Structure 1
Amino acid sequence: MDEPRPIRVLFVCTGNICRSPMAEGVFNHLV
């Protein structure tokens, strides 16, 4: 069987302090 490939996620947050916590929440929901 093939090993599962790692998931790479990149969040680019500029100019809006709300995006980082939102990105973290989305990432935690997906994982």
Structure 2
Amino acid sequence: MELPRTQYSQEFRKESVKFFKESGLTLVEAA
């Protein structure tokens, strides 16, 4: 399965933001 570079970049960025938000919320709740 070969994805266009731009599409892969957008998907990766979206997942990264999602992961960062979840991690950030976890850190805030833990504080």
Higher relative contact order (CA 8 A, sep 6+): 1
Same fold by TM (over 0.5)?
no
Structure that is richer in helix per residue: 2
TM-score w.r.t. the length of structure 1 is: 0.44
